[in-house]
Amino acid sequence: MFNSNLFKSTLPDGFGETVNISLMSLAVSDLGSLLTLVWESITLNPYFIIAPLPFNSEDVRYLTAAVPHAIFVRIAWWITAFVTFERCLCIVIPLKVKQVITARRTLVINLTIFVVNFLCLCPIFICRSLAKKTPLPLVETVYCTDDYFPIEKIGFTFNVVSQFSAFIIDLVCTIAIIQILSMKSKWRSETASTSASGSKAGFASRDKKIIKMIGLISGIFILCSMPSCVNYAVTVTFWEYTQDKRYININLMMWALIVALEAINSSVTILVYYNMSSKYKMVFKQMFSKKEQVSREKH
């Protein structure tokens, strides 16, 4: 609902502004991540698992929920990294940023992020496929090719590279933004004259607010992404981690933590939009005021 509210607040302005394109793409990826996570939670329900269904719930969960969820999460990570990079350019080259980051280039970059992340995890769908199991009718299972493990390892390797790349870009750009804004804020404070002290103080206060906001967003992103990066890195370098029963409890605990943090990362954007965008706040309040008015009319 909150992501659809973002659609209502950005679509009237069109895609002329680069920030609208990125926010729309981020909302789509977050929505996809949450929907696939809801479906995955349904397939993990004990009643769903023991139900006499005509398919293997665990195998179908992996292909229809776990992998698509991972794809949408990676897309959200890369869009977040791109938005941070764009903000960094706005501070480093403020006069040329509109020439470098145009609306068309932003649209192409966001579409590329979607396509590349889907292609990176395609090997998993190639080595696994849903098919009817014989001789039992109407029973679906997952068939694996002979080179299943090497192909899936390639997919996981791409996944790890994608995660760490987005993580490093976001971290470096965030540090650069905070450092540059801190230097500018300090320079304004030192060069502020007596006649314009109030104006300069206002600029310094605004810079501090931006630094605090960016630091909070980056901190949430880093906190939510770090366990996933570590877990995938261990999976690629130590393949027995997911195959040996000795590590099953650690593996399950890590995945429970990762999924919870990914859900938080996809849901907490509502707070960022509500505090940053006055138009989003207005549409948000209008949407709920209309619902309250309709409920009162019914009663």
pLDDT tens sequence across 180-192: 877 877 777 777 6
pLDDT tier at 89 (50, 70, 90 boundaries)?
confident
In the chain, the amino acid numbered 185 is S
Q: What is the fold of 2-284?
A: Rhopdopsin 7-helix transmembrane proteins (1.20.1070)
Q: What is the mean pLDDT of residues 121-139?
A: 59
Instruction: Please state the rounded mean pLDDT for residues 82-99.
Output: 82
Q: How many CA atoms lie within 13 A of 206 on its CB side?
A: 9
Rounded to the nearest integer, the mean pLDDT of the chain is 74
Nearest to 167 by CA among 265, 78, 298: 78
More confident residue, 256 or 275: 256
Q: Where do we find the tokens 């006649």? A: 195
The contacts of residue 277 (CB under 8 Å, 6+ apart) are 9
Model confidence at 17: pLDDT above 80: no
Question: Considering Cα of 240, then 244, then 247, then 253, what sign does the dihedral take?
Answer: positive
pLDDT band at 210 (very low <50, low <70, confident <90, very high): low
Whether the Cβ atoms of residue 77 and residue 13 lie closer than 8 Å to each other? no
Asked if residue 163 has pLDDT above 60, the reply is yes
Q: Tens digits of per-residue pLDDT, 19-63?
A: 778 878 888 888 899 899 999 889 888 888 887 777 777 778 888
Q: What is the pLDDT of residue 109?
A: 93
Q: How far apart are the first and last CA of the chain?
A: 24
**How do residues 259-280 score in pLDDT, each as one tens digit?**
888 888 887 766 766 666 566 6
DSSP, residue by residue, 28-40: HHHHHHHHHHHHH
pLDDT grade for 140, boundaries at 50, 70 and 90: very low
Per-residue pLDDT at 114? 94
- Cβ-contact 117, 75 below 8 angstroms: yes
Tell me which of 38-47, 71-80, 81-90, 216-225 is least confident.
216-225
pLDDT band at 137 (very low <50, low <70, confident <90, very high): very low
Q: Give per-residue burial for 43-75: e unless 16+ CB within 10 Å, then b.
A: beeeeeeeeeeeebbebbbbeebbbbbbbbbbb
Higher pLDDT, residue 15 or 228: 228
